Amino acid sequence: MEIKASVRIAPNGYGFGHDWTLVIEKDGLPRTFWLGQDVKYCHRAGLDPVSIVAALGSNDLKDPKINEQLAWLIMENLSDEDPEEVAEKIYDNLEAWELSCE
């Protein structure tokens, strides 16, 4: 079983900030999970933008490698379990809105 993860980033309708959607792909089949506005989600998850950039080593979230690291960082912060186990549990058990900060 192969699990991939990324964060889809889109400008929000207010003209500032970005909306994040976690994309988890298991055996080639993607599912999306709405996270919400970037800053709101970071605070809800106990993260701050400065520590995220420090952990990723870059703020270029358009870079696929950095974007993937962001997805795994999010899952690391959701549980003390192995991030791949967290990803599988999210994929198998949660509805698309259950991780939302909204």
Query: Which tokens belong to 2?
Result: 């192969």
Each residue's pLDDT tens digit, 81-97: 999 999 999 999 999 99
Calpha distance 53→79 (Å, rounded): 20
Calpha distance 36→45 (Å, rounded): 12
Each residue's pLDDT tens digit, 48-76: 888 888 999 999 999 999 999 999 999 99
Each residue's pLDDT tens digit, 16-36: 789 999 999 999 999 999 999
Q: Which residues contact 88 (CB under 8 A, 6 or more apart)?
A: 1, 3, 26
pLDDT, position 33: 97
Please name the residue that has the structure tokens 């996270």.
Answer: 35
Query: Which tokens belong to 24?
Result: 């988890």
Taking residues 38-50, what's their average pLDDT?
85
Helix ranges (H only) for the chain are 38-44, 49-56, 64-78, 83-93
